[in-house]
Structure 1
Amino acid sequence: MRLPIQRGSLTLRFAGFAIALVQIGLTPEIVRAEEPLSYNEHIRPILVENCFSCHGADSASRKADLRLDRRDDAIEYGAIIAGDPDSTVLLDRIYSDDPEEVMPPPEIKKTLSAQQKALLTQWIKQGAEYEPHWSFIPPTRVPVPKVKKQDWVRNPIDAFILSKLEAEGLLPAAETDRRTLARRLSYDLTGLPPEPAVVEAFVLDPHADAYERLVDSFLSKLEWGEHRARHWLDYARYADTHGIHFDNFREIWTYRQWVINAFNRNMPFDQFTILQLAGDLVTDHGPGATPDQILDNKIATGFNRCNMTTNEGGIIDEEYIVLYARDRTETTAQVFMGLTAGCAVCHDHKFDPLSQKEFYELSAFFNNTTQRAKDGNVYNTPPVLAVPLAQDRTRFRKIQKELPVARAALATRKKNAKTEFHTWVQSLTEDQVLAVRPQETPLVDIAFSEGEGNATKASFLGKQTTIPLSDSTSWLPGPSGMPAALVNGKALELSSAGDFEHDQPFTISCWVKLPKEDGNKNFSIASRMDESNAHRGWDLWVEDRRVGMHLIHKWPEDALKVVAKKQLKPDVWTLVTLSYNGSGNPGGIKIYYDGVVQQKPKVANNKFKKNTTRTETAPFVIGSRTKGSPAKNLGLTNVS
C-alpha cells in the first residue's frame, strides 16, 4: 500500500491567478489557471534535464524499467495518474524530503526548483497531455498581436517582433542607413559585396518601394542561385571527387548547374523535390516539354549520385552496395524529412518515430540502381547520362537518330566484307602483291666502312656502286673495331635518293659518335632539303646532342619538328633510328637510341598542314643540309 507523501505548499487564489508559495524560499510561481500548459514548452525541458537520463529511451541506462518519455508507458507503470496529482507517484517522489525516496536522487546533483514542481503538478492536474516533437505538429496561423507603437509596424512580422520587445520593456533599434542595408542585402542574397554603383543608386532612389526594387535586383542575379545552391549542395553531399580510396575526379558538375538554375528559375519546391528523387522516372513532363527540359529532369537525379564511392580492391562488393543505399536513405531523410534516420540503421530510433524496419523499407527505394560497388577510379562511373553542351544538343539528338542506321550499315558491311576480301585476294597477281608489300631491300645503303681512300660502297635497291667522298671526310675506328667515317661537313650527295612526299613512310638508321666538345650543337646528319625554298624537305637532325627530325613545306608556318628529350652520350657509338609513318603528325615520328624508343619527345613545331615536302631539285646530302648546318668531327657508319 502506497503512503502519500505530504507536499509542503500553500496555494492562494487571487484575481484569476494561482499563486503557489512554496516553503523552500517562498518563491512565487504565477500560472494562468485558465490556460493549459504546453508539454513541449513547459514540461519536456524539465523532464529532459532531470528525468530522461534514467527513465527515457535508452534501455541501457534505464532504471526501474520506467519510461517517462512516453505517456502510455508512464501511466501504465503507475507513475502518473492523469488528472489526479494527489495520487501521482511522480509528484510524491519529487516533493519527498527522504533522500532514499526523492527524485532526482541526490547523487546525480540535480534538484527541481519550486517553480518546476508547481508546473509538473498543474500539468498532471490538467490531464498530463504529451505532445510529439514540435517538428511533427502541423503549424497553425496565430493571430497578429496587438502592439502599442502601431506606426512602427510595416508588415505582420514586425508586429510579432515589436510585441516581444514591448513585453520586455525594450524599444526597437533605429532603422539603419541605406548603405549598410544594401551591404547586408547583398551578402544575404548573393554572398558577395555590392557594387558601389548599386549602392549609390539605392541611396539616391526616391521611390517608396526602393528597398523592394533592390531586393528584386539581387534576386535577378545569377549569383543568387549560386549562393543558395551552395547551401543545398552541402545538404546533397555534392563533391567533385569520389571521396574514398584514391578520391579521384568525378564529373557531376551538370547537377550542380541544375541546382543553380532551379533556384534562379524559382522552381516550386515540390517539383524540386520530385525531380531530384525520381527525375528519371517522371513520364509526364508537362505540355510542350522540350527535349532539353526532359534531359534536365534526368540531370536532377544527380542528387542520388553524390554519395561517396571507392575503388579499393579489398572491399566486399555487397557491403558497399548496402552502404550506398544507406547513404541515399539517410540523406533523403535528413534533407527532405528533417529526420536523423541513421539511428534506425541498427535499432529502432530512440527519439524520432522511425523503426529499424521502416528504415530498410525506405531504403528499398534506393536499392535498385545499377551503380557498381567499385567506381573504377574514373571520372564517369556508370551508369552515365550523356549531357552535351547546349550548343551541341540539336546535333547530338540527330546523331542519336542516325546511329541505328549507321550501325546496321556497319553490321551489313562486316558481314559482306569477308567474302569480298577473299575474292580480292584471289584476284591479285604477283606484281600487285609485290607492289603493296613492305620494302625489304633498303632504298639506299651506304657503308662508310672502308677505313681508307676517298670513296665508299653504296647499294641502291640492292644494286652495288661506289660513291666519292668529299676531301673533308676521313676515317676513325668504328663500333666493334670496324672502320667508320669521320665527317666534317658535307660527306656526299645523291641527286636521286630520299625525295619523299609527306604521306610516304620511311626509316633511316646509322651508327653515330658525337665528339665530347660541344662547339657544334646543331647540325644535320642526313637531309633532303631545299634551303632556298623555305627549307622544304626533311632531315635527320641533332640539336644539343638530341636527335630529331624536320618535315617541312614552308618553315616555320607549315612544318613539323620533333626532338628527343634524352641526349646522346658523347664519344660513344650509338645506333640511331628515325621512323616516320607518313601521317604528317608528331605521333608518327619515332626516335630510337640503340633500339630503345625515346618516350614523349618534344614537339617544337606542330603547324604542318600536309602540303608537299618534295624538293624536286635538291640532292640527298650526308653531313649537312644543301648549304649549311654541317656536322663537325661526327663519327658515322652504316647509313641505311
Structure 2
Amino acid sequence: WLASITPESLGRDIPTDKLVLHLPLNEGQGNPLHAVGLKEPLTPNGTLTWDKEGQSGPAPVIKSGATLEVGNVGDFERNSAFSYGAWVKTASNDAQAGIFAKMDVQAAYRGWDLWQNGQSFGTHIIDTWPANALKVVTRNRVVKPGKWQHVFVTYDGSGKPAGVKIFVDGREEPIRIEQQSLNADASIRTPTPLRIGQRSAGAVFEGGAVQDVRIYERLLSGNEVSAIAENSSLQKLLAVAAEKRTPQQAAQLFTYYLENHDAAYPKLAATVEKLEAEQAAIRSRSPVTHIQKEKPDSPAMAHVLMRGAYDKPGDQVSAAPPAALHAMPAGAAPNRLGLARWVVDPQNPLTARVTVNRFWQEVFGRGIVPTAEDFGIMGAAPSHPELLDWLAVEFQENGWDVKQLFKLMLMSATYRQAAITTPEKLEKDRDNILLSRGPRFRTDAEMIRDCSLAASGLLSEKMYGPGIKPYQPEGIWDIVGLPEGNTRNYVQDTGENLYRRSVYTFWKRMAPPPNLETFNAPSREVCTVRRERTNTPLQALVTLNDPQFVEAARHLAQEAILKGGSSFENKLQFVAQRLLARNLRPEEQAIAQSSWNDLAAYYTSHIEDAKQLISFGDSKPDAQVEAATLAAWTMLVNELMNLDEVLNK
C-alpha cells in the first residue's frame, strides 16, 4: 500500500457521500473562489488578504468587511443529521466569534454555526435563543492561537447534547453543555445565507484564517472525520522520501493504513474497544487493592528511632529476631518466609504454648495460663506448667493438627468429669484451677444465638458473602448515624439472611448488635483473646423476649407438634433431644407437663394473645397447627431454652 499510494489517491480516502459543500480556500490571490457544491465561483465581501502559511496553500484571513457569503447552502432542519468543519487558525484565545455560520441574528439567532468560544470550540443549533436552543462546547481549553487546527462537528438530528460530537485534530473531545432547551418541534431553517468568518451580523472571526470548509448532509463517523483531518498532513509525509521519514512519521502512515485500508483492523479494533469498556466497568465497580512486592536488589532495613521520634533516627538495623530469643533457623532468609519458619521453629518457646493455651481456654473456660493474652512477666503463671509443655510438644510433633489436639482434650478424663461440685471441692478448688471437676461456664454470645437457631432447624448453613442484618430494636442506629452516611438507617434483612450464623452479622462500631453485646461479645475495635463473662438480668430478657429466640422456640415447637409423635411425652422428648441431647427425667417431665397445662389453658381462653405470640418473626407458622396449641408449646420450648443446662457448657 505504501509503495502504491500517491497524494492524489490519498485524497480519494476523504468521504464524498452527501458532501454538499467543499471550499478549499487556497487560491492565494484574487477574489473569485471556487467551491464544490456551488454553480458559480464565490466573490467575497471586500478584498481578501492571504496567509502564505496555510494548511494547504495560502489561506484567506478574515477581517471585518472581508468575509465570504456562500448562499443558501446547509439549510438543514432540527431533525436532520449533518456534519461540518474546517481547518482553522485562531488569532486569540478570548474571541467569541463565528468561524462559519448559517444563522440569522435578527431572528433570535435561528440556525447553526461553528463557534470559537474563547479557549474552546463549540456549536449552536437554535430555533429561538435561549428558550429553544442547544449549545455545546469542548470541555477542555483546546484553542491554540496562531496554529492550524482541524475542527469538525457531527450532529445526529436528535436535538440532544448526546447527539453532538466535536472533534479537534481528528480526536473527539469531551463536551460541556451550556444550553439544552431545544424542543422536539423546533425548526432551525433560515433563509439567511451561509457565511464564512461571521454570523449574519457581527461576531466576526477577526484575524483568523479558514481553509477546507466541508459540509455533509449526513452523520460522519469518527474514522471519517479523522481521515479528513489527517489527509493534508499525510500528503506532506508522502512527499518525504521513505528513507528520510522518522519512526513517528512511519507510525502515523501505518496507523492511517490500518484504520482506512486494512480489512481485519476494524473488527479487531471494535473487539479491543469492547474489552477495554468491560475492563473499565470492572475497575469502576471494584475496590482497588494495594499489594507490596519485595525489593529484589536491596535488603530491608530500618533505623532505631531515638525516643520514638521519627525525625531522630539512630543506628541502622536489619531484619532479625530479638537477640533475647532464639536465632533464625539455619538457611532461613531474613524475609517473611524466614519469619514464618522462625515462628514455628521447635526452639520457639511461645508459638505452640500460646496456641494450645487458647484452645484449652476454649474447651475448659480457663487457660492453663489464665492471662491468655499475656505470657510475659505481667501475666499469670501457669497452673500446670508440665501439662502446658507436653501439650505444646504434642501439638508440634503431630504437625500442628488442630483437630487432633481438640480430640485429645475432649476425650481426656479431665474433660469428661462431671461438673457437679461438693463442699470439699468448693473449699479446696473454688475456681476449678486444679481441674477437680468438669468445666462449666456460660457459652459465648454467638454460640447462644446459633445453638437456638440450630436446635429449631432455622440455622442457615450458607457460607461467605456480605454481612447480614438480623432482628434488632428500632432506632438504635439513628442516634449515632451520620445524616449522609450509608448506615444511617438499619434495614432488617428477610428470609435466609435472618438465620445465618452470628459471625456474619453486620457490625456497626458505634452501635453493635445489642443481643450479642448483652452476652459480652467484644466491640471488635481491638483483638480480644479472653472475653469477659458477666451475668445480668438483661441476658434473661434477651433469651426470653428477643424475636430471634421467640421465633426459634415457635419453630422448634412446631417441629415437635408435627414430627415429634402423637403423645405429649414424645413431643417433649423430641424437644429435649434437640436442646439437651438427652431425654428428660420423670421428675422433669412432670414439671414440664404442669407448665404446659397452665399455658394451654391460658392460650385457649386468650386466642388473640396466642396469635400475637406465634406471629413473631419473619417466618410464618404452619396453618394446620392450632394457634393456642402452638403458642403453649412455644412458651414451653422457650422455658427449656432458658435452662442453665442449655445456656451453659
TM over 0.5: no
| TM-score normalised to structure 1 length | 0.30
